[in-house]
Amino acid sequence: MRALRIAASFLIGTSLIPRPALAADANQNLSQSQIDDIIAKFAAHEADFSKARDNYTYRQTARIQELDDAGGTTGKWEMVSDIIFNSDGQRTEHVVRSPVPSLHNILLTPEDMEDLRSVQPFVLTTSEVPNYWIRYLGHQQVDEIGCYVFAVKPKKFENGKRYFSGEVWVDDRDLQVVKTYGRGVGVKKRGSDEAYPKFETYREQIDGKYWFPTYTIANDTLHFKDQDVRIKQTVRYEDYKQFKSDVKITFGDAVEEKKDDKKKQ
């Protein structure tokens, strides 16, 4: 997010305030080989999850608010979109509602939109593991789910690419990511005045198998050169449905029509 020139300071009022990660239980010590095995397995599951989610439709509702000292909303950006497949079986985003923004102190950038699409619902697949430093922090209970906790940060930055920096919680039974906490990072543009909030993303099990992101929340102070701005951001991912039609979905290949499913004229 980029600051606008109007200087102001806001407090945010909400009953859902994400907390920094609590200290994980370091008593559950693991050998390095065990840690490497856990990382390899949950990254493989993340790769499966990523492919599976690409075959689901869902609705995404994103909101960013600026609030005054009394907690009232003074500016807002909102977008409701359906992630669907068109008649050719190609994945696309259909904007359902996008009111004129009324934000006064921040301006959304392409980096913000990329964070919304790919960093906040962070997926650490096998192919992405070499791009990150991953450190085991310990074991922790999250809503009665035993989890391995890992610190994750990028090894290097490439221009134009956004990365996740923070912590991930991995179910110690199914070895799937159930929660992430951190922020989007990348190469800073020279002379730019940009800041990005810390966020927390929760996942829920869909169709009894994959843990898909269902809710992201950010309550943070954005520190710009001339002002601090408090913001609240929420993203809801709802109504997951597995895509079914008369087309065959393949990953990395062309979409082929199932001739057998054509209706006879």
Residue 12, both tokens: 């945010």
Q: Is pLDDT above 70 for 15?
A: no
Q: Is pLDDT above 80 for 68?
A: no
Per-residue confidence (pLDDT) for residue 244, from 0 to 100: 66
Q: What is the pLDDT of residues 2-11, one digit of tens each?
A: 665 433 332 3
Q: What is the pLDDT of residues 81-123, one digit of tens each?
A: 999 998 888 889 999 999 999 999 999 999 999 999 999 999 9
Cα–Cα distances in Å, from 233 out to 12, 13, 86, 112, 121?
11, 12, 29, 11, 14
Q: What is the pLDDT of residues 114-166, one digit of tens each?
A: 999 999 999 999 999 999 999 999 999 988 899 999 999 999 999 999 999 99
Per-residue confidence (pLDDT) for residue 6, from 0 to 100: 36
Unique residue bearing structure tokens 């966020």: 199
How many Cβ atoms from other residues are within 10 Å of residue 122's Cβ? 24
Q: What is the pLDDT of residues 177-222, one digit of tens each?
A: 999 999 999 998 887 889 999 999 999 999 988 899 999 999 998 9
Q: What is the spatial distance between Cα 66 and Cα 219, in angstroms, rounded to a whole number?
A: 11
Per-residue confidence (pLDDT) for residue 37, from 0 to 100: 97
Q: pTM of the predicted model, to two decimals?
A: 0.81
Domains of the chain, residue spans? 7-13+30-241
Cα–Cα distances in Å, from 237 out to 61, 86, 224?
7, 20, 30
Q: Do residues 219 and 232 lie in contact, with contact meaning Cβ atoms separated by under 8 Å? A: yes
